[in-house]
Structure 1
Amino acid sequence: MESHVVKIVDIQQVTHDVKSFRLEKPAGYTFVPGQATEVAINKEGWQNERRPFTFTSLNHEPTLQFTIKRYADHDGVTNQIHQLVAGDELILHDVWGAIEYKGPGYFIAGGAGITPFIAILRQLHRDNQLAGNTLFFSNKTAADVIYEKELSNMLGKNAHYILSREQKAGYENGIINADYLRSQATDFSKHFYVCGPDKMIADINAALEKLGASADNVVFEK
């Protein structure tokens, strides 16, 4: 398995617990929007601690970008990554398929589960092919919404933000379940792209099956 040691070029704060990391891009390193790789920190004791992260940059860009949420409740990889600074090194491995765009439909994301969709939506926006796509993005509070301004700029009224633990003007309140999808999705023959916590994926997939979506049209990380 190939591995590449790359330097962090730039770090930006995205939300209170999410950062964007721009990295050097190895020569000939290519990926498709929605794909991921395993990442490790090039520091003693962490080189073999690999975790999967999705590329949020586009393939034509000169650098790679990952958008990573910090889970500070334990001293794991994301907590360590968030302590890194520009010039520190990460280890990248082979690219592998996660979620692939198959045609217009509904993107259903929970929290950091938006990350596989970021590059897909950015590429569609760049190619002027976003028409016919709708985003349902669930978070606990408004402060948790990743890249809200960019998503709204790209999708306009087709970006829906659902908050489970906060009521706030401009946002919907509740959870994404069968009742919500029945009221919001107008065409269950379209593609459904689902990413989030494991339980959410299972619940959404069961709801979609109940509502008549074809299993072949439901795309999620397996």
Structure 2
Amino acid sequence: MSYKVTIRDIQQITHDVKRFRVDKPEGYEFIPGQATEVAIDKLRWRDKKRPFTFTNLNGEPDLEFTIKIYNDHNGVTNQLNYLNIGDQLIIDDPWGTIQYNGPGVFLAGGAGVTPFISILRRLARDNSIEGNTLIFSNKTEDDIILEDEFEAMLGRHFMNVITDEPTDNYTYLDGFIDKEFLEEQIDDFDQPFYVCGPMDFNEAMLGYLKELGADPEALVFEE
């Protein structure tokens, strides 16, 4: 089923990420970590649906999407960049396989962190976030989405990995998340692991985790 929703607020989160808040259809509910197909309600764009994750909490009166804008091609996110408050989107019913199965390690690459935002916000609200760790890989420090909020929620259990620029800031770790990194930073592979990022990132993380002894049944990712 499809629904037309009106954009009520737009905020710039990073240099290339925006937060959109839209009307919530009556009776519409989602599970943290789920997404929906979104299209722009304008000529030539209504049939160009793309998946975006809900990033707010289910009980709130609106819906929120945190979306990375790609300006290097004339796609949906590029068009989203030019929308204004009052414009409309078309959304479908929720779907998705990234759901919380207990305390564990969240591994995110870039905008792949978005399915984790609602999950971690709900855990923080419910005072149940203890035992969870977020390891977040980005190209530069400027690319980190919601850095202050993750820091407030997770403290020392929020770890940033910067891949494309050197930094002497002790709060960031230079380099890439590889098998050696995971072995050094994680002392328990008998726990859930939540993985989301570009396809190459997901495949690499899942491969490393299996090699390190993680239970394939405990690996949560978008299928």
TM over 0.5: yes
Instruction: Say how many residue pairs are matched.
Output: 221
TM-score, structure 1 length as denominator? 0.99
What per-residue deviation string (whole Å, max 9, x for no partner) do you get for residues 125-174 of structure 1? 00100000001000000000000000000000000000001122121101
Which residue pairs with 2:216 in the alignment? 215
Is 1:14 the counterpart of 2:13? The answer is yes
- Letter of the 2:177 counterpart: I
- Letter of the 1:97 counterpart: G
Task: Tell me, in whole angstroms, the C-alpha distance in 1 between the residues paired with 2:134 and 2:5.
Answer: 33
- Letter of the 2:150 counterpart: L
In the TM superposition, residue 123 of structure 1 has moved relative to its aligned partner by: 0.3
- Letter of the 1:25 counterpart: K
Counting only pairs closer than 5 Å after superposition, residues 39-50 of structure 1 correspond to structure 2 as 39-50=38-49
Q: Runs ≥4 in structure 1, deviation > 4 angstroms?
A: none
Task: Tell me, in whole angstroms, the C-alpha distance in 2 between the residues paired with 1:117 and 1:186.
Answer: 22
Task: Tell me, in whole angstroms, the C-alpha distance in 1 between the residues paired with 2:97 and 2:41.
Answer: 24
Instruction: Extract unaligned runs of 5+ from structure 2.
Output: none
Task: Tell me, in whole angstroms, the C-alpha distance in 2 between the residues paired with 1:86 and 1:56.
Answer: 19
Counting only pairs closer than 5 Å after superposition, residues 23-172 of structure 1 correspond to structure 2 as 23-168=22-167, 169=169, 170-172=171-173
Q: What SS does the aligned partner of 2:101 have? A: coil
Task: Tell me, in whole angstroms, the C-alpha distance in 2 between the residues paired with 1:200 and 1:92.
Answer: 27
Task: Tell me, in whole angstroms, the C-alpha distance in 1 between the residues paired with 2:166 and 2:103.
Answer: 30
Checking the alignment, whether the CA contact within 8 Å between 1:34 and 1:120 is kept in structure 2 is yes
Task: Tell me, in whole angstroms, the C-alpha distance in 2 between the residues paired with 1:179 and 1:28.
Answer: 47
- Letter of the 2:17 counterpart: V
Of residues 91-100 and 132-141 in structure 1, the stretch that sits farther from structure 2 once superposed is 91-100
Checking the alignment, whether the CA contact within 8 Å between 1:104 and 1:133 is kept in structure 2 is yes
In the TM superposition, residue 41 of structure 1 has moved relative to its aligned partner by: 0.1
Task: Tell me, in whole angstroms, the C-alpha distance in 2 between the residues paired with 1:45 and 1:124.
Answer: 40
Which residue pairs with 2:199 in the alignment? 198
Q: What SS does the aligned partner of 1:209 have? A: helix
Percent pairwise identity: 54
Q: What SS does the aligned partner of 2:42 have? A: coil
In the TM superposition, residue 98 of structure 1 has moved relative to its aligned partner by: 3.0
- Letter of the 2:205 counterpart: I
TM-score, structure 2 length as denominator? 0.98
Task: Tell me, in whole angstroms, the C-alpha distance in 2 between the residues paired with 1:191 and 1:181.
Answer: 14
In the TM superposition, residue 69 of structure 1 has moved relative to its aligned partner by: 0.2
- Letter of the 1:67 counterpart: T
Task: Tell me, in whole angstroms, the C-alpha distance in 1 between the residues paired with 2:173 and 2:42.
Answer: 43
- Letter of the 1:79 counterpart: N
Task: Tell me, in whole angstroms, the C-alpha distance in 1 between the residues paired with 2:69 and 2:8.
Answer: 19
Task: Tell me, in whole angstroms, the C-alpha distance in 1 between the residues paired with 2:82 and 2:183.
Answer: 43
Which residue pairs with 1:5 in the alignment? 4
Cα RMSD (Å) of the superposition? 0.6
Checking the alignment, whether the CA contact within 8 Å between 1:36 and 1:98 is kept in structure 2 is no
Instruction: Extract unaligned runs of 5+ from structure 1.
Output: none
Task: Tell me, in whole angstroms, the C-alpha distance in 2 between the residues paired with 1:39 and 1:130.
Answer: 30
